[in-house]
Amino acid sequence: MAFLSDALSRVKPSATIAVAQKARELKGEGRDVIGLGAGEPDFDTPDNVKKAAIAAIERGETKYSPVSGIPELREAIVGKFKRENGLEYTPAQTIVGTGGKQILFNALMATLNPGDEVVIPAPYWVSYPEMVSICGGTPVFVETKLEDNFKLSADAFEKAITPKTKWVIFNSPSNPSGAAYTAEEMKAITDVLVRNEHVWCLTDDIYEHLTYGDFVFSTPAQIEPSLIERTLTMNGVSKAYAMTGWRIGYAAGPQKLIKAMDTIQGQQTSGACTIAQWASVEALNGPQDFVEESRKVFENRRNLVVSMLNQAKGITCPTPEGAFYVYPSCEGLIGKKAPSGNVMETDEDVVTELLQEEGVAVVHGSAFGLGPNFRISYATSDDLLEEACSRLQRFCGKVD
């Protein structure tokens, strides 16, 4: 009898975590490595949020919280959705988890049965298909194209739907591509959902506040209010407020789904850290200056990276609308010799050679379901980004 679960055979380790770990190991060996693999803001958590956490500790807010979150945070979530997205929820239609990842996992665990299908546009965040597989569902991938800025078309989406489809996972702005859907583009997607009443929408809005230029963010239930009864709108404080380590994600949706997720979480982790929850109350209800300031910094970084990558031989980099990633094509390097003399047959070969030759750590696109590309996170300083892109240009210049 096998000791380990069969579920493990359906799951791959996280490529983004693996790249970050490899970069740390090389640094530990004394190598000069610039890690551009982690999706984590390099800013510190805002002072008002930190002070709210300290105040919560001093008040003795250190006991177990309700499974779905403290009432004050659930009220703040209701206020956020109404104020920023025009969505009307009650506190009972909200839930707080230990990071957005737990929210997504609980929703899938609470709803998927063997044979259920989940439509996932590619490229996708590496954890989406693995979560679906762990929960017994079947991921159905729909590839997007660079010339369409990696956005899912309504026609391709509709063709992927079958009677077995239970969810579509929708991420805008996207990790890894940074693609974000305009209201018009979103309407084409929501029209497909309106026509297919058995399909639910799981929307990951974690990068909502990181959009650039004159782009205006919108979320599916906002564009098509009739979908609110079969949409789970997930968000969190990690990216917008530089609170990755605080581990707070949240969502709102139909009460029957929220209750089911509460049941799963009640037997899994119970309530999230109370101190982190009180800090999140301040993040959502307090001053929002930090969000706009960091957004401007990220926009400048995006412009720098896109410009420098497009000056590298064999690289084509579209300009994303949001998040803090670019997803350039390295098709021009495939089949050519790296400076080491090795022929690069895949995008994984390209990023491996780049790391060995120039000490720049990025994530290969095939890990996100679409290549030949790679993902760069520009959530680091301008100086490091400029140096990394200069090294990448130098690497590409040596490719034969």
CA 328 to chain centre: 17
Give residue 352's pLDDT: 92
pTM of the model: 0.95
pLDDT tens figures, 324-366: 999 999 999 999 999 999 999 999 999 999 999 999 999 999 9
Classify each residue of 121-137 as buried b or exposed e, where b means 16 or more C-beta atoms within 10 Å of its C-beta: bbbbbbbbbbbbbbbeb
pLDDT band of 153, cuts 50, 70, 90 = very high
> 3-class secondary structure for the chain?
CCCCCHHHHHCCCCHHHHHHHHHHHHHHCCCCCEECCCCCCCCCCCHHHHHHHHHHHHCCCCCCCCCCCCHHHHHHHHHHHHHHHCCCCCHHHEEEECCHHHHHHHHHHHHCCCCCEEEEEECCCCHHHHHHHHCCCEEEEEECCHHHCCCCCHHHHHHHCCCCEEEEEEECCCCCCCCCCCHHHHHHHHHHHHHCCCCEEEEECCCCCCECCCCCCCCHHHHCHHHHHHEEEEEECCCCCCCHHHCCEEEECCHHHHHHHHHHHHCCCCCCCHHHHHHHHHHHHCCCHHHHHHHHHHHHHHHHHHHHHCCCCCCECCCCCECCEECCECHHHCCCECCCCCECCCHHHHHHHHHHHHCEECEEHHHHCCCCEEEEECCCCHHHHHHHHHHHHHHHHHCC
CA 322 to chain centre: 11
pLDDT tens figures, 78-91: 999 999 999 999 99
Give residue 37's pLDDT: 87
Give the C-alpha separation, 302 to 65, whole Å: 39
Average pLDDT, the chain: 96
pLDDT tens figures, 48-62: 999 999 999 999 999
Q: What percent of the chain has pLDDT over 70?
A: 100
- Phi and psi at residue 8, to the nearest 5°: -65, -30
pLDDT band of 317, cuts 50, 70, 90 = very high
pLDDT band of 1, cuts 50, 70, 90 = confident
Q: Which domains does the chain have, with CATH numbers?
A: 6-44+290-395 (3.90.1150.10), 63-285 (3.40.640.10)
pLDDT tens figures, 97-137: 999 999 999 999 999 999 999 999 999 999 999 999 999 99
pLDDT above 80: residue 144 = yes
pLDDT tens figures, 176-199: 999 999 999 999 999 999 999 999
Give residue 2's pLDDT: 85
Give residue 39's pLDDT: 85
